[in-house]
Chains A and B, each alone.
Chain A
């Protein structure tokens, strides 16, 4: 079955510092790993994703790394700004117990960037 663990559950950093959020997964067949950002009172939105054929992807201040051997992937945010404050969810696109494909989400990380 699918399982995604996400750490830490809360993270507080000073503006300008880096933030790292880590996730581990159990399904070796998973091949898609997106990250969603949910600001207070708003819907989750995709910010970056990575597929299993690459080890790292970067988009301006955010980057994601994937280690398929160890089954973990991480979100890195550099030069954090107050508007980065939100809840971040990792997810894996794999096969559920029923054999169907769907995203399984981690438990979320509440990031607070202190000005």
Chain B
């Protein structure tokens, strides 16, 4: 599959579970992002990685832990989540050119339900 892929596509977890979301981009981009999409905040930026370095943590609770081992892979580790964390988690990538104009390519998302 080309572009940006995410696994799993659906995840149901209890509040005491630990799980991880995976994102992979096949576009040769140098920046990757995690977004949370819910009815309350349609596209809420969580984390930004540029050249594997985390450049942004948008006041996200510590129960969400990102990991970017290389420029093609991005993980979101989840532990002790709350029901209000149920949402669609979207990964995106872009090629940052330093000028601020960069198209973001989104993955299909992981639909997370916390019970």
Chain A residues near B (Cβ < 8 Å): 30-32, 34, 42-46, 49, 51, 87, 89, 93-96, 98, 100-105, 107-108
Please determine whether B48 and A51 come into contact, CB atoms closer than 8 angstroms.
Answer: no
Given the known inter-chain contacts A46-B103, A103-B104, please indicate yes or no for A89 contacting B43, CB distance below 8 A: yes
Please determine whether A100 and B55 come into contact, CB atoms closer than 8 angstroms.
Answer: yes
Q: In whole angstroms, how far apart are the Cα atoms of A31 and B55 in the complex? A: 20
Interface of B is mostly: loop
> What count of chain B residues pass the 8 Å CB interface test?
21
Q: In whole angstroms, how far apart are the Cα atoms of A51 and B100 in the complex? A: 10
Given the known inter-chain contacts A96-B56, A102-B48, please indicate yes or no for A32 contacting B101, CB distance below 8 A: yes
Chain B residues near A (Cβ < 8 Å): 33, 41-43, 45, 48, 50, 55-56, 90, 96, 99-104, 106-109
Given the known inter-chain contacts A89-B42, A100-B56, A104-B45, please indicate yes or no for A94 contacting B103, CB distance below 8 A: no
Contacts of B106 in A (CB 8 A): 43-45
Q: In whole angstroms, how far apart are the Cα atoms of A34 and B102 in the complex? A: 9
Please determine whether A34 and B103 come into contact, CB atoms closer than 8 angstroms.
Answer: yes
Knowing that A43-B106, A43-B109, A105-B43 touch, tell me 19 more A-B residue pairs with CB under 8 angstroms. A32-B101, A32-B102, A34-B104, A42-B108, A44-B43, A45-B106, A46-B103, A46-B104, A93-B101, A96-B56, A100-B50, A100-B56, A101-B96, A101-B100, A102-B48, A104-B45, A107-B42, A108-B42, A108-B43
